[in-house]
Amino acid sequence: MDLTIRLSGAQGEGVESTGRTVASTFSRMGLHVFTFRMYGSIIKGNPTMFYQVRVSDRKIHSHGPWNSVDVLIALNKNAFAAYVDMARVTIFDSADVKREGRGLIGVPLTEYALKAGNRIMKNTVAVGALYALLGIDLSVLEGLLRREFGDKGEKIVEQNMAAAELGYKHVEEHYGGLNVSFPRDSPKPLISGAEALALGALFSGMKFYAAYPMTPASPLLHFLAEWGPRYGVSVVQAEDEIAAINMAIGASYAGVRAATGTSGGGFSLMHEAVGLAAMIEVPVVVFLGQRGGPSTGLPTETEQADLLMSINPSQGDFPIVVLAPTTIEDGLYTVARAFNIAEKYQVPVMVLTDLYFNESMTTIGEVDWSRFKVERGDLVTSPVVWEEYKRYRLTETGVSPRTVPGVPGGMHIATSDEHDEKGDVITDRHEPKVRRVMMEKRMRKLDYIRREMEPPSLYGSPGARTTLVVWGSTAMPVMDFVDTSQGYNALIFRDLYPLPRDQALKALSEAARKIAVEVNYTGQLVALLRRELGVDIGERVVKYWGEPFSVDELGELMRKRVEAVVVT
């Protein structure tokens, strides 16, 4: 069983919250769910935004097909016109569109909503109709409505239930249901990518988060602002992104795990401070949720075009780490690693996701709590002898014992200027020897971090004719494609910088035909692999028009590509 339901309507009319209700229906039934929304940078308007819910009885990783859906719920006539041809079955307001035919289920949505008490409830009528179509008992919905509207009073819940019943009965009487059955399992948590990152941060002991609102990173701020204070987390909405990252660096210097989050534009403003963190060797985690660029670009649409920027922000050479979680579940654990690496090596760590990752929701399985082991590295919390203490002591690994304010004897000045082992500025004179050893000390850390980096993971069976080379969230649709196709596997990069060279080279050399699949124009992973490994992935499939890849589209693209090569 694998169903895709697309809800479409105008922005500001509750399409998303209705979509979430549908998604929660399935997650509460213990099914596997994945959701995706396509919307515009407008608060009210855009009549054909959509929210897609995919449900399956087996593990799924993406939103499913792009060009066909099983059920369309069209909440207005524009939505009907836009997507009716790709839907097996369409539920629509019979007052909007006068059409009959196979798969067309006209329901007087507005009329029923008014009958139940308020025209705003026409979405609920449609959900009731969907329940009848899929043969799901309305009692599941009641619990969800109570969660959504409970604080608005029992009357609202009752009115919504009445609205749903009207839609349900209408379909039951006039159309009947689809031939589909849902196996039941225990309810599963349903979380968005942004929530996975934020939860991962809470579980990792992050105690400070500062950010400036920006799509698609804002959901982290919203979530942490609500949940953080319950666990001693200070959450600040800063005056700009420059302030946000500098606050995080200050908090980290003071001894707590700290992070900031933004998108490409905000991260552009943060660059100088990333260099500061690397120079003063203060750990900091940056959540970078990419969206379409350049400049304001596509504010509400996805892209993966900030990979190279995340590896090379700010002036000068310095150690930095870039991790791009490949699934929403993986986001939880990647964040735990990000905080550990940041503290163990006293470096900035980027957690690189995108709008598709942050805003999609999925059901997750059992969480492996053992993967949240906190490793704080060489953190000194007991008194030291000031005359002997050297904050930037030269060590084999390049990592020096770090005191934090409050530790007697550990006083030092962390300076953005080049400095000596004690932390004293050396820039009032020419000190090439000190400069050399300090630069080498910082850069040496990369060699040790590299040993902790995980090689790309192979998804699918080894020895497939074609290997799709991907990174970050593109893994999600590609994994689904590999699951449903013959002759393909995927090499998935999460740990992007520093690359574990030997292992990555080995993995790439074992692949027969390699095709890079990325959501950007230039093929930034291809460029990185060429730069770091000297490997050229000759074939690329890219898109840069604000959509993630979809399973059906990948099938089309690969078929064309394979045929084309056969012809030549």
Partner 1 sequence: MTVKIEVRKPAEYAVARPPIWCPGCGDYGILDALRRALAELGIPNERVVVVSGIGCSSQLPHFMKTYGIHGIHGRALPIATGVKLANPDLTVIVMGGDGDGYAIGTNHLVHAARRNVDITYIVSNNQVYGLTTGQMAPTTLKGVKTRSTPYGSVDDPVNPLALAIASGATYVARGFSGDPAHLAGLIKGGIEHRGFALIDVLSPCVTFNRVNTYDWFKARVYKLEESGHDPADLMQAMAKALEWPTMDPYGRIPIGVIYRAERPTYDGEMSRLLKGASPAASPIDNALSEGPTILKSFI
> Given the complex with partner 1, which of 96 and 195 has the nearer CB atom?
195
Rounded Cα distance, 506 and 462, in Å: 13
How does DSSP assign 121-151, residue by residue?
GHHHHHHHHHHHHHT--THHHHHHHHHHHGG
The nearer residue to partner 1, 149 or 209, going by C-beta atoms, is 209
Q: How far is the CB of 449 from partner 1 (least distance, A)?
A: 22
d(CA 325, CA 200): 12
Cβ distance to partner 1 smaller for residue 294 or 369: 369
Pairing of the two strands 457-459 and 488-493: antiparallel
Question: Which parts of 26-85 interact with partner 1 (CB under 8 A)?
Answer: 27-28
357-396 footprint of partner 1 as x/- string (CB under 8 A): ----------x-x--x-x-----------x----------
Which amino acid belongs to residue 291?
A: R
The whole-angstrom separation of Cα 252 and Cα 232 is 15
For partner 1, the binding residues in 252-281 under the rule CB under 8 A are: 252-258, 272-273, 275-276, 280
Smallest gap from Cβ 204 to partner 1, in A, equals: 8
Task: Please report how close the Cβ of residue 259 comes to partner 1 at its closest, in angstroms.
Answer: 11
Selected range binding partner 1 among 123-131, 212-220, 352-360, 409-417, rule: CB under 8 A: 409-417
Is the Cβ–Cβ distance between 95 and 108 less than 8 Å? yes
Part of the chain binding partner 1 (CB under 8 A), chosen from 35-43, 149-157, 417-425, 478-486: 417-425
Computed on alpha carbons and rounded to an integer, the radius of gyration of the chain in Å comes to: 26
Q: H or E element: which one contains 435?
A: helix 432-452
CB of residue 378 vs partner 1: minimum separation in angstroms? Answer: 16
Q: How far apart (Å, rounded) are the C-alpha atoms in residues 164 and 132?
A: 10
When the beta carbons of 106 and 331 are compared against partner 1, the nearer one is 331
490 binds partner 1 (CB under 8 A): no
Residue 177 CA: distances (Å) to CA of 89, 180, 379: 11, 8, 62
SS (H, E, C) 465-534: CEEEEEEHHHHHHHHHHHHHCCCEEEEEECEEECCCHHHHHHHHHCCCEEEEEECCCCCHHHHHHHHHHC
Under a CB-based contact definition with an 8 Å cutoff, are residues 161 and 117 in contact? no
- Considering beta carbons, is residue 24 or 290 the nearer one to partner 1? 24
Binding partner 1 by CB under 8 A: which of 16, 195, 303, 518? 195
Write down the least CB distance from residue 425 to partner 1, Å: 6
Closer CB to partner 1, 361 or 528, in the complex: 361
User: 407 or 542, CB closer to partner 1?
Assistant: 407
Could you tell me which of 348, 353, 289 has the C-alpha nearest to residue 320? 348
Is residue 402 within 8 A of residue 252, CB to CB? The reply is: no
Nearer to partner 1, 233 or 399 (CB): 233
Residues 228-257 that bind partner 1 (CB under 8 A): 229, 231-234, 236, 238-240, 242-244, 246-257
Q: How many residues bind partner 1 (CB under 8 A)?
A: 69
Closest CA to 327 of 242, 200, 225, 217: 200
Give the x/- contact pattern for partner 1 in 312-351, rule: CB under 8 A. ----------------------------------------
Q: Which residues bind partner 1 (CB under 8 A)?
A: 27-28, 187-191, 195, 199, 202-205, 207-208, 210, 227, 229, 231-234, 236, 238-240, 242-244, 246-258, 272-273, 275-276, 280, 367, 369, 372, 374, 386, 404-417, 424-425, 428
